[in-house]
Amino acid sequence: MKKDYTQKPLNIFMRYIAGHKKLFALDMSCALLVSVIDLVFPYVSRTSMNRLLPGKLFTLFFTVMALMVAAYLVKAGLYYIITVLGHRMGVLIEADMRRDVFNHMQDLSCSFYDKNRTGVLMSRITSDLFEITELAHHGPENILICTLTIVGALAVMFTIEWRLALTLAVVLPLCLWFTLSQRVRMKTANIEVKKKTADIYAAIESSISGIRTAKAFANEEQELNKFDDANSLFKASKVEYYKTMGLFQSGMDFTCCIAQVLVITVGGLLIMQEKMDYIDLVTFSLYVSTFISPIRRLTQFSEQYMNGSAGFTRFLELMRTEPTIKDRPGAMELGGVEGRVDYEHVSFDYGNGVPVLKDIDLHIEPGQCLAVVGPSGGGKTTLCQLLPRFYDVCAGSVKVDGVDVRDVTQSSLRRNIGIIQQDVFMFAGTIREIIRYGRPDATDEEIVEAAVRAQVHNEIMELPDGYDSYIGERGVMLSGGQKQRISIARVFLKNPKILVLDEATSALDTVTEQRIQASLDELSQGRTTIIIAHRLSTVRNADMIAVVEGEHIVELGSHQQLMEKDGEYARLCRAQDLK
């Protein structure tokens, strides 16, 4: 069930904590006992000085002190539990959030990734969420301990000397006002730091991904300069954040010191007036230390809070980003596909008002092969991306077997479409894992059969580890032809009824192209196939050829028909010495 992220941030945060309520309850129970032990010692000290020592009850005095030592040993054990189990709870919450944000990113549309850099998104699901771990652990625990300690200390101090306690209570509103006034500035500064950190992630990711290009052009210095620019912005934002943090910390320290000075001043005045004795002032001073300690602790915690709060804000910002392409309510599963594809008066732009396709009308029968050709930038790839709903049409409709693709679930639609692109993407792993990606439940025998049909089995077996050979990042340890044929094997295993070949052989040499073309021809048998190609020799046997130019289909027909027409297609063929 999809979670609701429109609620208030605190409610969403508590919902994640509620998922680990047993650990949370244990953490809070330990924190409660820590507060009680801190509050007991000053009271025990006062009783000892007022009754036990004057009454010469020395045995009882040492017994009470031994009990306090035992209590502080218990406190140490409680802090161990808080540290270990509390951090465990924080890690579990972080893992829950990371899973949710990754799952949500899987749902986001291609247009989202067109506008956001990979490194920035990596920062969102790594460093930002780490800060939330600390907040999830230390936040509730610190708030409980500090609140109970402050309130408990004030309550006991009012029983000792109400006038002195009232003096101290005056400091609290001042402290609260200063904290709230700085909170917004600190959070804003911290969010800026996280943005610049994300920029550094993006610079690193871009440089590592393009390291071969940088080396090929001997532009390592330029990449370093780009990184330095991002790093300088990060340093500037961090300095600004620490200025804000420094003002907050110094202001809180001043408030705490003033509280102690006020207690001694007013306490001294009351002793002068014989309204208070020294033992009560000493006890009061101990409670002041107990009172001030959580305030200092909250001051130290404020940096964790701001980091975690800023990270949680950015987490919510991402989780509240809605995919532009969603399954309609009641969308049906697409099954038993025959393979008829219809583009009915389709128009499309990328949201910038610049048309890419206008009034496209195409009808492909099951098992037919359609080739889409034309100059670069004419909208050929976009035309094919509308079929699996990587983008949605702006006008008209795309249909499979007479059903609008917007009326079926995206997953069932894409299960029935196989796509092979010029730039084949492969996740790091073994060849077996890469081919099995086409159908995760496939057996080893089926994987081998798919490789045989893709004419790549023999080459795989020549590798040191055969199907268990590691291919490196993006398949860097394979040749272009091997990658292409492994991607074909992957689609063989998927066995879709509709096939899209987007410049599948254009980056290969002629010999390799011919070998792969044989694999593609077998793959296309019995499937509705859409081919995007610049090399027209690969499409001359297509049932239909559509020439796309200037957002329109300017010509449509077989190779022979278009050559006889002697139009744009014939001109393209002559440019490639094709008859």
Give residue-wise pLDDT tens across range 95-125.
888 888 888 888 888 888 878 777 777 777 7
Statement to judge: residues 301 and 383 lie in one domain: no
* Half-sphere exposure for 67 (CA within 13 Å, toward CB): 12
Q: What is the pLDDT of residue 216?
A: 58
Q: How far apart are CA 23 and CA 86, in angstroms?
A: 7
| 293: CATH | 1.20.1560.10
Angle among Cα 70, 136, 98 to the nearest 5 degrees reads 140
* Helices (runs of H) and strands (runs of E) counted in the chain: 19, 10
Q: How far apart are CA 519 and CA 509, in angstroms?
A: 15
Tokens of 82: 């808080």
* Half-sphere exposure for 200 (CA within 13 Å, toward CB): 14
Residue 566 to residues 219, 468, 478: CA-CA distances in angstroms?
A: 47, 52, 42
Tell the residue number behind the tokens 């080739």, with chain if given: 371
Q: What is the pLDDT of residue 345?
A: 92
Does 328 fall in a domain?
A: no
Q: How far apart are CA 341 and CA 349, in angstroms?
A: 21
What is the tally of structural domains in the chain? Answer: 3
**What percent of the chain is modeled with pLDDT above 90?**
8
DSSP classification of residue 328: P
Q: How far apart are CA 543 and CA 205, in angstroms?
A: 44
Q: What is the pLDDT of residue 511?
A: 62
Tell the residue number behind the tokens 């050709």, with chain if given: 373
Statement to judge: residues 503 and 475 lie in one domain: no
The neighbouring-strand residues paired with 307 are none
Report which of residues 162 and 76 the model is more confident about.
Answer: 76
Statement to judge: residues 307 and 437 lie in one domain: no
Q: What is the pLDDT of residue 184?
A: 67
Least confident range from 66-70, 84-88, 528-532: namely 84-88
Statement to judge: residues 280 and 358 lie in one domain: no
Tokens of 306: 């701001």
Q: How far apart are CA 564 and CA 549, in angstroms?
A: 19
- Mean local confidence (pLDDT), 211-221: 65
Does 523 fall in a domain?
A: yes
Report which of residues 41 and 68 the model is more confident about.
Answer: 68
Give residue-wise pLDDT tens across range 226-247.
777 777 777 777 777 777 777 7
What strands, in cross-sheet order, belong to the sheet with 355-364? 355-364, 341-349, 395-400, 403-404
Q: How far apart are CA 490 and CA 450, in angstroms?
A: 7
Q: Residues near 94 by Cβ (< 8 Å), separated by ≥ 6? A: 129, 130, 132, 133, 136
Statement to judge: residues 442 and 536 lie in one domain: no
The neighbouring-strand residues paired with 548 are 553
Does 1 fall in a domain?
A: no
Q: How far apart are CA 151 and CA 172, in angstroms?
A: 11
Q: What are phi and psi of 53, to 5 degrees?
A: -70, -50
pLDDT at 272 over 60: yes
Rounded to the nearest integer, the mean pLDDT of the chain is 81
Q: How far apart are CA 226 and CA 129, in angstroms?
A: 26
pLDDT at 342 over 90: yes
Name the pLDDT band for 404 (thresholds 50, 70, 90).
Answer: very high
Report which of residues 225 and 181 the model is more confident about.
Answer: 225
Give residue-wise pLDDT tens across range 541-569.
888 999 888 888 888 988 888 888 888 88
Does 276 fall in a domain?
A: yes
Statement to judge: residues 392 and 263 lie in one domain: no
Give residue-wise pLDDT tens across range 505-521.
655 556 666 767 777 77
Q: How far apart are CA 91 and CA 136, in angstroms?
A: 9
Name the pLDDT band for 347 (thresholds 50, 70, 90).
Answer: very high
- Residue that terminates a domain, selected from 486, 504, 531: 486
Statement to judge: residues 477 and 531 lie in one domain: no
What burial class does residue 520 get, using C-beta atoms within 10 Å of its C-beta: 0-12 exposed, 13-18 middle, 19+ buried? buried
Statement to judge: residues 154 and 67 lie in one domain: yes
Statement to judge: residues 178 and 216 lie in one domain: yes
pLDDT at 167 over 90: no
Angle among Cα 92, 95, 100 to the nearest 5 degrees reads 130
Statement to judge: residues 235 and 89 lie in one domain: yes
Residue 419 to residues 132, 505, 515, 518: CA-CA distances in angstroms?
A: 39, 13, 19, 17
Q: How far apart are CA 172 and CA 150, in angstroms?
A: 10
Q: How far apart are CA 528 and CA 338, in angstroms?
A: 9
What is the value of pTM for the model shown?
0.71
Name the pLDDT band for 343 (thresholds 50, 70, 90).
Answer: very high
| Helix or strand holding residue 173 (H, E) | helix 162-209
Statement to judge: residues 212 and 357 lie in one domain: no
Statement to judge: residues 362 and 270 lie in one domain: no
Q: What is the pLDDT of residue 218?
A: 65
Q: Which residue type does 278 have?
A: Y
Does 545 fall in a domain?
A: yes
Q: How far apart are CA 303 and CA 248, in angstroms?
A: 10
533 and 451 Cβ atoms separated by less than 8 Å: no
| 412: CATH | 3.40.50.300
Determine how β-strand 341-349 pairs with β-strand 395-400. antiparallel
| Owning domain of residue 515 | 341-416+496-575
Does 330 fall in a domain?
A: no
3-state SS track over 433-445: HHHHCCCCCCCHH
Q: Which residue type does 218 have?
A: A
- Residue that terminates a domain, selected from 319, 353, 382: 319
Helices 9-18 + 21-47 axis angle, to 10: 100
Q: What are phi and psi of 552, to 5 degrees?
A: -125, 160
Give the number of other Cβ atoms within 10 Å of residue 379's Cβ.
Answer: 23
What burial class does residue 3 get, using C-beta atoms within 10 Å of its C-beta: 0-12 exposed, 13-18 middle, 19+ buried? exposed
User: Quick check: helix, strand or coil at residue 361?
Assistant: strand
Does 171 fall in a domain?
A: yes
Does 331 fall in a domain?
A: no
Q: How far apart are CA 243 and CA 153, in angstroms?
A: 32
